Amino acid sequence: MSIRDPAELSRSELVRWVKEVLRRYGVRPSRKLGQHFLVEPSLLRDIERFGDLRRDDIVFEIGGGTGVLTAFLAFRVKHVITIEIDRRLVEALRELSSALGNVEVIEGDVLEYELPRVNKIVADIPYSITSPLLEKLLLEWRGRYEVAVLTLQHEVGERLIAVPGTKEYGRLTVFCNLFSEVTYLRRIPRSFFYPIPEVDSALIKIVPRSDVPEFNYSNFRDLVTYLFTQRNKLVKKVLTEYIKSRDLRISVDELPSELVNKRVRDLRPLDFIELVKHLKRT
Ligand code: SAH
């Protein structure tokens, strides 16, 4: 089987590629698994440009699907490791892999895997796992890759770059901005995928920061998550409940008053670190 570089194919040829794989392997695209496959050559080019793809890169692709992006990557970088949860698509990817030679296919759920040794990550993130996967990328895998180029729901993209006080601002924004530099590269019309999803997407670039202050991650995560369940309340009030429920030996009065008198939604990312330092467990 000889494979053509997807970048040389038109959108209708990519649609044909996707449909052919779905037919051969008996796959009816599942919305739950976020099975909307990329069929737009210009988006492939954008991923290449923004990810600054090079010959010596080793790329981890999350959700290989029908293999269009996998093949596109394989033509440009040294090695691609792709993970896919759908067994039938894994079969399709394995066939592709034996024709391409530099693709390794893992069958499984990305949330249960460790990041392999790679320098870049490219993912078209299924909506159902966006939040846990972003947390993995931002917290757990931080510092173990140079750049991640992600396609995710437009609305999630807006949340990642939101400023304090707005309704899009939340725990993901805080995690994202503390640990990495996030760039919203472009909005992606839903027509770039087959089958067409219900909402537009966004192309996002994440570069982990190297200058992140030291603190206890799991306490931090617990605190941020708790606070944002009551985002419109005064920090003082929510923290009083938090201190009690976590059995911490500190009183809210001992915390910086300029922080505890704000509303949760107005705390800046660094304010959360400040708080977690004071709430050190005994
Ligand atoms: N990158 C491909 C596929 C995008 S669709 C393309 O652009 O064409 C998203 C893919 O992620 C689907 O193939 C789906 O089966 C897979 N997927 C969904 N949840 C997953 C998970 N938890 N772990 C690994 N792959 C997953």
What is this structure's pTM?
Answer: 0.92
Q: What is the pLDDT of residues 57-86, one digit of tens each?
A: 999 999 999 999 999 999 999 999 999 999
Express as a percent the part of the chain with pLDDT over 90: 88
pLDDT band at 28 (very low <50, low <70, confident <90, very high): very high
- At residue 100, what is the residue type? L
> Which of 159, 161, 105, 115 lies closest to 140, judged by CA?
115
Q: Is 63 left (phi over 0), alpha (psi -120 to 50) or beta?
A: left
Q: Is 126 in the pocket of ligand 1 (CB under 6 A)?
A: yes
pLDDT above 90: residue 217: no
User: 7-30 burial, b if ≥16 CB within 10 A, otherwise e?
Assistant: bebeeeebbebbeebbeebebebe
Q: Which pLDDT band, with edges at 50, 70 and 90, does 127 fall under?
A: confident
Separation CA 42–CA 247 (nearest Å): 54
The pLDDT score that the predictor gives to residue 280 is: 73
Query: Would you say the CB of residue 110 lies under 6 angstroms from ligand 1?
Result: yes
The Cα–Cα gap between 257 and 273 comes to 15
Q: Give me the pLDDT at residue 213, please.
A: 78
Per-residue pLDDT, 281: 61
Q: How far apart are CA 135 and CA 128, in angstroms?
A: 13
261: confidence class by pLDDT, cuts 50, 70, 90: very high
Nearest CA to ligand 1 atom 17: 63
Q: 33 CB less than 6 Å from ligand 1?
A: yes
What is the residue with the minimal CA distance to atom 18 of ligand 1?
Answer: 33
Q: Which domains does the chain have, with CATH numbers?
A: 6-208 (3.40.50.150), 217-278 (1.10.8.100)
- What pLDDT sits at residue 143? 87
User: Which two tokens mark 190?
Assistant: 């839903």
Q: Which atom of ligand 1 lies at the shortest distance from residue 110's CA?
A: 23
Question: How far is ligand 1, taken at its centre, from the CA of residue 229, in Å?
Answer: 29
Cβ-contact 149, 46 below 8 angstroms? no
CA 55 – ligand 1 centroid, Å: 24
CA 58 vs. chain centroid, Å, equals: 18
Residue 37: its pLDDT value, please?
A: 97
Q: What is the DSSP letter of 137?
A: I
In whole angstroms, what is the distance from residue 174 CA to residue 273 CA? 10
